[in-house]
A and B are shown apart, each in its own frame.
Chain A
């Protein structure tokens, strides 16, 4: 559920994705042949289901955007280290859907930019750009708190 919430940004859509993800998982259970971890396989199903939802609602809108984003990262400690799960989830949910999706796929699920580009039908440069924007936006929101 937490995974779905991270991608969808709101509880209602996250529950829809969770439900469809479980249906897909149970009906395709026989296609899991033991190669790789079951958790990874299941996680991928939920990520794909979430991506399909976002795509269907045109939430991704991944046009080529390779504007170099200015980095806000410094050596200073940030308030992030004082934040808990709930607060961080709220901030992630507040990200634009396209940036949030790339951020989730890269940072949490561990996809490479090439894989993200393949999955989302965009260029690797766009994926990098969206990731950087997501990071910066998160930093800004964390500082504003």
Chain B
């Protein structure tokens, strides 16, 4: 019924579109403040400058990039934030090309062994391992592949359908949903331990998992090849920042936002006031909720109800491939607190980058510790799993996104059924304030979602200022 009326509507629009529409001359002018020098804010700023606006970008951190964060102080400059450019990331790839940011195919990650229920298992041994407690028709699937079985029941056919109110109305937790689909308890447990789209399976949205699967299923041909910036992904936001004509102020957190009919006003942490015709606010919701702002109560409630994904990474540099003498691959997938361990060579050297990637509620205890203790605990656990790593690795840095005051996590998570309502509400302009950031994107997640949202916010501001 819905589909039918939509098609009818498109046909009628198509029929009427022969009516000539006089092209108007768009002239956009005005002062715009963009809060946040991540990809969304920088993309919005570049578009608005191009259209003729006078743009000032304010960034709370002492660097640009936001959740794109290359650890330049660690050998191999590993990515602490956004780490891979998808083949369909049109805005990211084009912007990199335009600004001369060199891209490369990422060095191939080393194969993974498994540490499940206390046993070390090679991928080839998994189907027959005693720690593999999956039923017969599931045993062949590696723990990292189990979620793929969701694709058979995926209801998402089009880009924006994850926001469909009807699908959100029947959305449920990944835990309940997978049970209803006949997933074995052990499969649900294994999917849950390294789940990137929720902090726990009990309130991970099944629709969110379908969204990710639908995105992958749609990629074909050249879109299946991924890239990264050769010298670190942060070179992309840096190049974007360098291309701006107007000022970009680092270490400039915003304390308060207010507005009347004629202007929007910001008070900075240093007490300074700035006025503009429009604001593009790109702060992630946990950071945004700390800014003093008289928002409608319902909007604030929604904003504060959105959880962000917890990720903690320890970035190590490996001097020698200690895994070889035991015939191990180097990388690990574990059902313990260490989560996943990714190892890849540093091109042009004999060394490797090793990233311990812990996510979800498993981060809590480590997030609560002082950084040095957190690092010591991770190393203790790593050496327990791989004693040979002792003496062969050095710690580069530990990155904790949940405790980062300007992030609050790596990306927004929508609880079961929450997306349709909360997403639409949180990206709706408030007077002269427009909202961007990955949490407001529709077609993409991650870095391309951030770029998409900046483009959309620029369109909204341009309409108002034209």
- The finding on whether chains A and B are genuine partners in a shared complex, rather than unrelated, reads no
Binding site for B on A (CB under 8 A): none
Binding site for A on B (CB under 8 A): none
